[in-house]
Amino acid sequence: MDSGESAPDEMGRPLPLSLGERLGGLIAALYPDERKRPGYARLARMIREQTGGTISATYLWELVTGRKRNVTMEQLGVLAEFFGVPLEYFVNDEVSRRVNAQLALAVALRDAKVRSLALRAEGLSPESLDALLTIVEKARRVENLDGSGEEEHGVGEQPDRPEAQSP
């Protein structure tokens, strides 16, 4: 997942994600392997079984593809419950950005090598951590990957420490 924003507008500012993009991103985060991703009929059935709320497969598809935008707060509540996100995720850009950053971390940590790298870095000095971050950023540039996480924290900051977090 990205940082929770779509392509920049003509002024260079990131545009907020639409409901369809947010919903599609949640589905992709929950089911990253497209070959194993359930279809909309199965998703609708899973939503009904898990939450008791009813959203048809067709309506779910229409929401994800942007063909429909008229959704009730009750339906958003059902979707939020199923995907484990706050209701505000669907209507508040800041909440959406924060949740998407957390989802991106969760998706990255599914990879055993990423987890191993993160765990093995525990206890290293700030200087060593800065050196590792520099190496990883250079490797990402060589492989033409985005600057994932750059906007979240700078080199030398430790985002999991209380003084680095905002209240």
In our burial notation (b when 16+ CB lie closer than 10 A, e otherwise), range 149-160 reads: beeeeeeeeeee
> What is d(CA 5, CA 86) in angstroms, rounded to the nearest whole number?
18
Q: How many helices (H) and strands (E) does the chain have?
A: 7, 2
- State residue 10's pLDDT score: 52
Inter-residue contact 89 to 80 (CB < 8 Å): yes
Inter-residue contact 78 to 53 (CB < 8 Å): yes
- State residue 5's pLDDT score: 45
* Residues forming CATH 1.10.260.40 domain(s) in the chain: 5-107
- State residue 150's pLDDT score: 45
Compute how many other C-beta atoms are within 10 angstroms of the C-beta atom of residue 17.
21
What token pair was written down for 118? 């993160």
Inter-residue contact 90 to 120 (CB < 8 Å): no
Inter-residue contact 68 to 59 (CB < 8 Å): yes
- State residue 105's pLDDT score: 87
> What is d(CA 92, CA 94) in angstroms, rounded to the nearest whole number?
6
- Local confidence pLDDT in tens for the 167 residues of the chain: 444 444 454 555 455 578 999 999 999 988 888 899 999 999 999 999 999 999 999 999 999 999 988 889 999 999 999 999 999 999 999 999 999 999 888 888 888 888 888 889 999 999 999 999 999 999 999 999 876 544 444 434 444 433 343 43
- State residue 1's pLDDT score: 43
pTM, two decimal places: 0.65
Domain 5-107 carries which CATH code? 1.10.260.40
